Chain A
Amino acid sequence: MFRWILTCFLIPMGQGAIWANNILVCPTCPVFSVKEGIRLADPCDTVTVDGGHFAEGNLLIDKELWLIGKNWPVLDGEGKTEIITVASNHVHIESFKIENVGTSYTEDRAAIRLREVSDFCIKNNQLKNAFFGIYSQHSKNGIIEGNTVHGEAKEEVSSGNAIHLWYCDNVKIINNWTSGHRDGIYLEFVNSSTIKGNLSEHNVRYGLHFMFSNDDNYLQNTFRNNGAGVAVMYSKRIGMHGNLFEKNWGPSAFGLLLKEIHDSEIEGNQFQENTVGIFAETSNRIVYSKNNFIQNGWAMRISGGCQNLQITSNNFIGNSFDLAVHTSGVDNKFDGNFWSDYAGYDLDHNGIGDVPHRPMKLFSHVVSQTPESMVLLRSLFIDILNFSEKVSPIFTPENVVDNQPRMKKWTVVSTVKTTNNALPNPPLPGKFLQPAMNSQEGAENHLK
């Protein structure tokens, strides 16, 4: 960043006091076309667009530039083209309305495409009816902040992702609001990036989707009413802190889907009213702690090949099934959780139940094998079945046991509340949530 300031301001000054110019574009100005404004600009200039409606096809930004909107100018693709293509480093795009990107089967058209660039900032834009919203490929060191990306893919699947990153490094995705797309935020081959404070809802597939991405953090986001909340697949070292996963209902819906992910932390999250809170398959060395699982169908389903799991200090409250474990994995720990189903006692008053708790009911095993048997839930027969299994476990894995069940709930300090409370009233133009740029700081606060 500093180097950029140096090249943009200091060096030109030294060469003869040239200052970055501001070019004003508006419908009644001498320059009335954004394309012309960009053409006239020298590197490091600012192009300010004041109001108006511009349907100029594709805008290519091939020099270092600040493109600032005032009074919400509209860039309209008329359903035909990609709208902004950024092909230069150090480009800043702020406060535009960008609308109507055409759907195409053969090319992934986007409202804003970043093509092999670095040090970009896409801020406070409103994207509507875009096929892909913000599409970043082979780019690094960027910020995507405070944008709203709304697609119209309610049922339809011929839709792209709202924020799509492909082969990117070190990108911050902060306080965006995405809805009505395929995936709210999609990351493929994206490393060392931070996703924070976003709201992702009503997307057809996932709120947030990781593929082959390592060393990323996502914190304090809300994923609501998506096809499924978040999918983390084929990735390593992902930190998941203080997020809210709620109302992801449906036969194939999960709050969080983990598939072949290793060495990760899931901490301080809230899973509320999902068909399945967490579904994990072939996921090793994962720490689940201080999470709230409230009123889910299944709080957690752990499928084959999961080893070295630590499920400790969580609250399981009012779920139809707390755990379904189908793995004989070694070194899995389930100690020190609070289970609202726990029926034991604490005679020595040390806060820890004297009788170990077996969170996996026989019936959750039966339902996993034969989903149709669900109709028998809440019947007396099933209660007897569960009770007999509890007394002498035969079918459920023997090592799925909490030896230190808590008598009282853990107080989970969920930072979602503080950052995302404003989100039921979604961000309005000019009223975006205050950015918290230093994500590391946020994570630390949360951990306190």
Chain B
Amino acid sequence: MRKAIMPLAITCLLVACQPAPQPLSLGQDVCAHCKMTIVDEQFAAELVTTKSKVFKFDAIECMMAFLKENDQSNYALYLVRDFESPKDWQDATTSSYLISKEIPSPMGGYLSAWNNEQSASKMQANKGGEVHTWAEIVTLFEE
């Protein structure tokens, strides 16, 4: 019995240390930047630090503003949700982004995230605007 506890404890510790996405509880969680209650999963975003501290945001533009104001070096995960199927987190750094005046986001950035470039371009053809990559969005918000 005692032999089993030690490895188990170590595994638990290791698992606990791994930065992992945390689910949203809509209507309860508050945006770390603008203090608004998060109710719209389509635009939600999340940062997880290397020490597993989680920051949630009601809009991607809030996450970008937060990144600009705070130290950028220690984040393990950058997460956003796909505009069309916003049930799960996806990696923000590989997502595509659409800035379109026809899709108002919670904090006035008109910014939505997409699973892949095709779907973003499809919506762009429909609603207008510009498609960006993560790197472009980062530089855009640093200005």
B108 & A212 in contact (Cβ 8 Å cutoff): yes
Which of A226-234, A338-346, A415-423 lies at the interface? Answer: A226-234
Which of B10-18, B28-36, B72-80, B130-138 lies at the interface? Answer: B28-36
Q: Which 3 A-B pairs have the closest CB atoms?
A: A252-B30, A157-B26, A157-B39
B84 & A105 in contact (Cβ 8 Å cutoff): yes
B34 & A233 in contact (Cβ 8 Å cutoff): yes
Which of B28, B39, B104 lies at the interface centre, i.e. has the most chain A CB atoms within 10 A of its CB?
B39
* Interface hits, A146-193 → B, CB 8 Å: 155, 157, 166, 182, 188
* A67 CA to B6 CA, complexed, in Å: 76
With A157-B39, A227-B37, A252-B30 in contact, do A166 and B104 touch (Cβ < 8 Å)?
Answer: yes
* A246 CA to B30 CA, complexed, in Å: 20
Identify 9 new A-B residue pairs, CB closer than 8 A, beyond the known A204-B39, A205-B36, A228-B37: A166-B104, A205-B39, A211-B107, A212-B108, A252-B28, A252-B29, A252-B30, A252-B37, A257-B36
Could you pull out 28 A-B pairs where Cβ atoms are within 8 angstroms?
Answer: A105-B84, A106-B84, A157-B26, A157-B39, A157-B41, A166-B104, A182-B39, A188-B104, A188-B108, A204-B27, A205-B27, A205-B36, A205-B39, A211-B107, A211-B108, A212-B108, A227-B27, A227-B39, A228-B37, A231-B36, A233-B34, A233-B36, A234-B108, A252-B28, A252-B29, A257-B36, A259-B34, A281-B35
* A228 CA to B28 CA, complexed, in Å: 10
Residues 208-238 of chain A, each 1 if its beta carbon lies under 8 Å from chain B, else 0: 0001100000000000000110010110000
* Interface hits, B45-91 → A, CB 8 Å: 84, 86
Task: Kindly list chain A residues whose C-beta atoms are within 8 Å of the C-beta of B37.
Answer: 204-206, 227-228, 252
Rounded to whole Å, the gap between the CB of A88 and the closest CB of chain B is: 22
* A204 CA to B28 CA, complexed, in Å: 9
A251, CB-defined interface residue at 8 Å: yes
- Total interface residues in chain A, CB < 8 Å: 24
Rounded to whole Å, the gap between the CB of B124 and the closest CB of chain A is: 14
Task: Kindly list chain A residues whose C-beta atoms are within 8 Å of the C-beta of B86.
Answer: 105
Interface residues of A (CB under 8 A from B): 105-106, 155, 157, 166, 182, 188, 204-206, 211-212, 227-228, 231, 233-234, 250-252, 257, 259, 279, 281
Report the nearest B residue to A279, measured CB to CB.
Answer: B35
Report the nearest B residue to A252, measured CB to CB.
Answer: B30
Rounded to whole Å, the gap between the CB of B100 and the closest CB of chain A is: 12
Rounded to whole Å, the gap between the CB of B113 and the closest CB of chain A is: 14
* A240 CA to B34 CA, complexed, in Å: 21
Report the nearest A residue to B85, measured CB to CB.
Answer: A105
Task: Kindly list chain B residues whose C-beta atoms are within 8 Å of the C-beta of A257.
Answer: 35-36
* A228 CA to B35 CA, complexed, in Å: 11
* A251 CA to B28 CA, complexed, in Å: 8
* A281 CA to B39 CA, complexed, in Å: 21
* A105 CA to B83 CA, complexed, in Å: 9
Report the nearest B residue to A166, measured CB to CB.
Answer: B104
Task: Kindly list chain B residues whose C-beta atoms are within 8 Å of the C-beta of A251.
Answer: 28
Rounded to whole Å, the gap between the CB of B87 and the closest CB of chain A is: 11
B40, CB-defined interface residue at 8 Å: yes
Task: Kindly list chain B residues whose C-beta atoms are within 8 Å of the C-beta of A205.
Answer: 27, 36-37, 39
Task: Kindly list chain A residues whose C-beta atoms are within 8 Å of the C-beta of B104.
Answer: 166, 188
Task: Kindly list chain B residues whose C-beta atoms are within 8 Å of the C-beta of A234.
Answer: 108
Task: Kindly list chain A residues whose C-beta atoms are within 8 Å of the C-beta of B84.
Answer: 105-106
Task: Kindly list chain B residues whose C-beta atoms are within 8 Å of the C-beta of A106.
Answer: 84
Rounded to whole Å, the gap between the CB of A83 and the closest CB of chain B is: 21
Task: Kindly list chain B residues whose C-beta atoms are within 8 Å of the C-beta of A155.
Answer: 27
Task: Kindly list chain B residues whose C-beta atoms are within 8 Å of the C-beta of A188.
Answer: 104, 108
* A250 CA to B30 CA, complexed, in Å: 11
Report the nearest A residue to B33, measured CB to CB.
Answer: A259
* A251 CA to B42 CA, complexed, in Å: 23
Report the nearest A residue to B40, measured CB to CB.
Answer: A157
Rounded to whole Å, the gap between the CB of A8 and the closest CB of chain B is: 34
